[in-house]
A and B are shown apart, each in its own frame.
Chain A
Amino acid sequence: MGNTQVLFSQRIRKFVKNNGSVVIFLILALLASLFVKNFFALNNFLTIIKQAAIPVIACLGITLVLMTGGIDLSLGYTLGLCSITVGLFVKTVGLPIWLSIVLTLLVGLLVGLINGTLVQVVKVPAFIVTLGSGYIIFGIAQIVSSGSDVNRLPASFRAIGVTNILGLNTTVLISLVICLIMYYLLHHSTFGRALAAFGFNAKAARMSGIRSEALNILVYMICSFLVAIAAILLTIRVNCAQPTMGGGVYTFEVITGAIIGGASLFGGIGTVIGSVFGVLIIKVLENCINLLNVSYYTYQAFQGIVILLAIIFENVKNRKL
């Protein structure tokens, strides 16, 4: 009896240790429900979920990259590029929707391929590659958009993202599906295992027959691919395709989400649940800021401090280990 209790408390401790972000989220939500007017409402929760759905997709992408010990600072700009691309294809060029989407996803893959190759083959540090490529991508996006955004997109296209199925719109559902797929990949497939091994000790992983070179490039491609999906959904969400979407702020927000979610900057560690709740935490904070009608800038500074604490905490935790 007491024995089982011990086990139970151990299990709880283990859970808290592995899913810190979930706990933080619950606490945060509780506090908000108590002290923030209008926070505790089904509708508000739905809103938060809708707002989180898209960043979550991108966040899962960056989580993979962080697990290799790399980083993708071009993420936000890739989002902008893919947004304007899909907009142009669907409305201006008038390609069939499926084709436009496929092409946009290909753009994403291409960006990832280039980043990944430079990192893995040419061995340029990831932050340099992606810092540079970020500016390049941003420029290209602006140029292809030739100055004007594409808005009021065809309903048939928007339907992909805004159709409601039992209270949740398809965007959220798509995001859910992606989470499940990523969960499988990361926690139930050899890919995830190989990725972790590579992140912890690339040399040993290679010597153990993991195709580290291919893996590393693939990860960057998956990341940009997910970002492309996020871009399409975001474009649908705001019913407007523009190259300025995303940007550095978005990159930072997504990375913050992953790190609050417990992804390690040194590679190897990262979980789907963690990253999902990491993003949810951010969105709850933003939501409260707006509900309280506080200046957005307070939050911007605040966000940085949150991530700092997250990093320090994670680091100290590992020290103990």
Chain B
Amino acid sequence: MQKTILQMDNITKYIFDEHGQALRGTTVKILEDVHFDVKEAEVHVLVGENGAGKSTLMKIIGGIIPADGGQMFLDGQEVTFSGPRESLANGIGFIHQELNLCLNLDVAQNIFLGRESQKGIFLNKTEMYEKAKEMLLRLGFDINPHTLVRELSTAQQQIVEIVKVLSYECRVIIMDEPTASLTKSEIDKLFAIIHDLRKNGISIIYISHRFDELTEIGDRITVLRDGRYIGSVDIAEFDYDKIISMMVGRKLTAMFKSTHLVQDKVILEVKGLAIARNTPPIDLTVRSGEVVGLSGLVGAGRTELAKSIFGSRPYYGGQILYKGEEIGHLHPHRLIEKGVIYLSEDRKLEGLVLEMSLKDNVTLASLKRMYPKTKINFAREAEVASESVAKLNIVANSIEQLCNTLSGGNQQKVVLAKWLLTTPQLLILDEPTRGIDVNAKSEIYRIIDELAKQGVAILMISSELPEIIGMSDRIYVMKRGAIAAELTAKEDFVQEKILSYTL
């Protein structure tokens, strides 16, 4: 029985801003009473749907964000990390999905950044580069430590990250989907490394969606769901369906009412669209009055697909037909005129102008239509804004309130209001209910259904399976930049099934 190195109890974290601080007055919990522990020399795999809270939990361990509740023990001592450096000092290394390297520096410089060995006031380069070289070699990689990291392949960059972390004599290493961007052979190499790391008594927390990998390297599996701890299973009694069911145990609430009817007029038709040079062609159709769900893991290419359709991202071959007319590469303003809109997953960066008032945001996308003579009619504007506020029951002290002072749910409603004002006929919704509370969610569902009823075609991207299942008439599942499956029959709308396609 190995001894436990790291233990976390009742960890709670509210939805937080870029500084890791809980948003004012939010009730949305990303983590709730999560338990998690790591034993010596084990590979502990952490699984869960998108938004289950895996990354957040790791960020807390890594000291990047503080927990709002609960304790963390290291070798039985209670610890709190004020920053990544401190957790590193305590022997916990974090290898992020998006690599944290200075592309303009060379390998050795990156490895030793912040603790370069010195001779007098100067760097002791010879020593640094030799050290770096032998470290790389020890992992069986012959990378010249003088190479600029920019010139390395993603895999090699990852190796550099690993070496960097190892050079801190870490006992626990967090790997957040390390294989996401690796080729098969590179993955094998990585696994080899993981194996002998473990041999040397180093524990690894491994986040992954690829079940085939789990059995290969994992010792234990812990499942998170909706920010809650569901349970841990030894790899010995690993059972695919069991894990899946643990992951998707979310019950379908009654908040979905489908009152709309699919018409057979095709609104959007995507033919053989490649969202990147190295991805297979995608075919997809959305009909009038139809809600089409687009499921898949984060990074499966759902957002890229949406943005390619909305003309804010280049694509590589294929056609995008809107009502039978090619709309590829059109500027958003032309698309909006035609009635195509895209509700971004990132409402702060692409959805709202936070510094402007609710009213201004609501009318922003309709300026041209509302005031063809460019003269703003303020009375009319106020009217329109108030109507939207009423229609979507947005909670705000006045239509003049600045959006950065609204709650997430209301911000999202404002964005929605903005788009509805343009009287769209094709709605592309990217994570329309991310990070907003339950009531707001159900209202947004109501609105979507309402729109579909009016004959609007809706393509809804979502990571929440219940949402997808509850709302959609048809479901596409994306995986690594391609359509992995299309589910048409309602009886196929089962969380386990969908999830298994995404993994």
Contact = CB atoms under 8 A, between A and B. Distances in A.
Closest 9 CB pairs of A and B: A209-B336, A209-B333, A190-B367, A208-B365, A200-B355, A189-B374, A208-B364, A201-B353, A200-B353
B333 A210 contact: yes
B384 to A, nearest CB: 14
- Which of A189, A197, A206 has most chain B Cβ within 10 Å? A197
Q: Which of B332, B335, B336, B360 is most buried by chain A, counting CB atoms within 10 A of its CB?
A: B332
A68 B349 CA distance: 17
A204 B376 CA distance: 20
B332 to A, nearest CB: 5
B353 A197 contact: yes
Contact of B368 (A184, A188, A209): A209
A200 B344 CA distance: 17
Nearest to B351: A204
Contact of A200 (B342, B350, B354): B354
Contacts of B184: none
A193 B365 CA distance: 11
B386 to A, nearest CB: 18
Interface of B: 310, 312, 331-333, 335-337, 342, 344, 349-356, 360, 363-365, 367-368, 371, 374-376, 418, 422
A17 interface: no
Interface of A: 184, 188-191, 193-194, 196-197, 200-201, 203-211, 268
A193 B367 contact: yes
Nearest to B422: A209
Nearest to A206: B332
Contact of B344 (A188, A197, A207): A207
Given A190-B371, A196-B356, A211 B376 contact: no
Given A193-B360, A207-B312, A268 B355 contact: yes
B312 A209 contact: no
| Best-buried of A189, A196, A207 by chain B (most CB within 10 Å) | A207
B354 A209 contact: no
A207 B350 contact: yes
17 contacts: A184-B375, A188-B375, A188-B376, A193-B360, A193-B363, A196-B353, A197-B353, A197-B364, A200-B356, A201-B354, A204-B351, A207-B312, A207-B332, A208-B418, A209-B336, A210-B364, A211-B331
A207 B430 CA distance: 13
A40 B367 CA distance: 46
B333 A203 contact: no
A204 B353 contact: yes
A310 B335 CA distance: 42
Nearest to B363: A193
A196 B368 CA distance: 15
A204 B312 contact: no
A256 B344 CA distance: 38
B351 A211 contact: no
